[in-house]
Amino acid sequence: MPEGDTIWRVAARLRPALVGAELVRFAAPRLTGPVPAVGVTVDAVDAVGKHLLIRFGDGVVVQTHLRMTGSWHLYRPGDRWARPRHQARLEIETASWLAVCFLAPVVRSTREPVQPPVPGTPTVGPAGVASRPGAVAHLGPDLTGPAPDLGAVLARLGAEPGDRPLVDVLLDQRVAAGIGNVYKSELLWLHRLAPLAPLGSIDAEARRALYGDAARLLRANLGPGARVTVPGVPGGLAVYGRAGRACPRCRDVVRRATLGSPPRGTWWCPGCQLSPAPAD
């Protein structure tokens, strides 16, 4: 499943092609919600955690969530598509570009009040919490943003049960948006935390450090190139996808297990991510 940095890069690629352009054609055979009118402008393309939001001049906001199968492609008119048309879930066409979202499980829309522009403020760019449409209003602070509100993250953590395992808390987008399975495993390794350690076992300072590092790593990987969480380690990752190989810190053998609710693959080092150890 794409993580927050991936969706941020998708938005950055689509934004120059779509924003400010007039909608020529819109097709979404499985769309739930209103359809933007042909002739309106594309006002913004925003990434909020793992969600991509495309805002139109008539107030329609189209939301996609790629999960494990979806992808966005950008074509010039007449280009040959890399995937068959029957896999297209959303097509947004302007005079110069065609943006196609393939196989996304979530394509839905809402209609938000059209706000007149405020002089001196930007009209496009990443969505702040205050400007989020209802479809993503439940999400925690977006950790890919330039200054995520870690105080708000701590407040949301404080409302969670103390016995909830960290492996679940880190993936909870209501707490903080953007962390996926890769960063979950890498953050737990970075902070020497066992995946099934309960949230109540770490104090406010440790929680702030954990999510501060999540934001730092996500921001560091917004540019092109392979994702890196531990510079100098072959492949750039400490434990994710490295089951059976040596931990770069203590040289114990990295393990993998399906943990959490819902169950997800998790990688960790039993040598330096200590008690409570996850069961096989």
Catalytic residue among 50, 89, 227, 242: 50
CA 13 to each of CA 10, 46, 106, 143: distance values in angstroms, whole numbers, following the listed order: 5, 11, 20, 19
Does the annotation mark 13 as catalytic? Answer: no
**For this structure, is 156 an active site residue?**
no
Question: 219, 248, 264, 278: which one is catalytic?
Answer: 264
Reduce the secondary structure of 4-30 to three states and give it as a string: HHHHHHHHHHHHHHHCCCECCEEECCC
Question: What is the DSSP-derived secondary structure letter of residue 199?
Answer: G
Annotation says 132 is catalytic: no
> Residue 251: in which H helix or E strand, if any?
none
CB contact set of 194 (below 8 Å; sequence gap of 6+): 166, 188, 268, 273, 274, 275, 276, 277, 278
Looking at the DSSP bridge assignments, the partners of residue 108 are 32, 63
What letter would DSSP give residue 39? T
Collapsing DSSP to helix, strand or coil, 25 comes out as strand
Cα–Cα dist 260/263, whole Å: 5
- In the chain, what is the straight-line distance between the N-terminal and C-terminal CA atoms, in Å? 23
Angle 204-220/150-158 helices, nearest 10 degrees? 130
Helix axes 181-190, 204-220, angle to 10 degrees: 130
Known catalytic residue: 76?
no
As beta bridge partners, residue 10 has none
Residues annotated as part of the active site:
2-3, 50, 264
